[in-house]
Amino acid sequence: MKTRTCTEFVLLGALLQSPKHGYEIMQFLEPALGSTWQVSTSQLYVLVKRLEREGLLESAVESQDNRPSRRVFSLTPAGSKAFLKWVHSPAEHVRDLRAEFLAKLFFFRHLALKGGTELVDAQIRTLKEIRQGIFKKKDKEPDPFKGLVLGIKAMTIHMWLQWLRQEAKPFVRRMHTDE
């Protein structure tokens, strides 16, 4: 199975509630996710076209009077399956956490999805595993510079673990009690 980027999954997620045309996707995502996640308009059109070619989206042209006609995209079953799998899976790499985890949290709130707590817990477990590997390496690292690098990695993971417990968990819990 082809590995997809976070960007593509965000586009899929934007269409889960309702079909949208390119310009509308942009208007939806920019104010909501603009602080964490960005795509240029031109790239957006390139990506939805490709996602359609690959069977995750389908589209229909809708003509309007007074306005240029637009191509409305909607999720296929394969597309919504792929999105839902992604949104419930923890990020594998620490470097992806910021963009990817925040995007997932956004969709949990926006789409009122279940399983937010489970996602946070799974992400915590994934990070703890990565941290184990770093601790092992750090123990047998003689070079002080490489020790510094491993120290930063460990510190970054520590920061995220704290954030997941203190900020992300209350955030997803609040979502459920709001309903």
Binding residues for a second copy, per CB under 8 A? 32, 35-36, 98, 102, 105-106, 109, 144-146, 148-152, 155-156, 159, 163, 167-168, 171, 174
Q: Minimum distance between the CB of residue 71 and a second copy, rounded to whole angstroms?
A: 29
Quick one: 7 or 74, whose CB is closer to DNA? 7
Q: Helix H segments across the chain? A: 6-14, 22-33, 41-53, 77-87, 97-110, 116-139, 144-163, 169-178
Among a second copy, DNA, none, partner that 18 touches (CB below 5 to 8 angstroms by kind): none
Q: Which residues bind DNA (CB under 7 A)?
A: 3, 5-8, 21-24, 27, 38-43, 45-47, 49, 64, 66-68, 70-71
Give the Cα separation of 13 and 75 in Å (integer). 9
Catalogue the long-range contacts made by 150-156 (C-beta closer than 8 Å, 24 or more residues apart).
153/94, 156/94
Among a second copy, DNA, none, partner that 63 touches (CB below 5 to 8 angstroms by kind): none
- Comparing CA positions, the residue from 30, 57, 179, 20 lying closest to residue 113 is 179
- Vertex 100: Cα angle to 113 and 147 (nearest 5): 135
- Comparing CA positions, the residue from 53, 56, 45 lying closest to residue 13 is 56
Q: Minimum distance between the CB of residue 178 and a second copy, rounded to whole angstroms?
A: 11
Among a second copy, DNA, none, partner that 32 touches (CB below 5 to 8 angstroms by kind): a second copy
CA–CA distance from 36 to each of 72, 100, 106, 129 (Å)?
25, 9, 10, 26
Among a second copy, DNA, none, partner that 39 touches (CB below 5 to 8 angstroms by kind): DNA
129 forms bridges with which residues in the sheet?
none
Q: What tokens does 11 get?
A: 């586009």
Q: Minimum distance between the CB of residue 49 and DNA, rounded to whole angstroms?
A: 6
Quick one: 46 or 159, whose CB is closer to a second copy? 159
Quick one: 32 or 72, whose CB is closer to a second copy? 32
Q: Minimum distance between the CB of residue 2 and DNA, rounded to whole angstroms?
A: 8
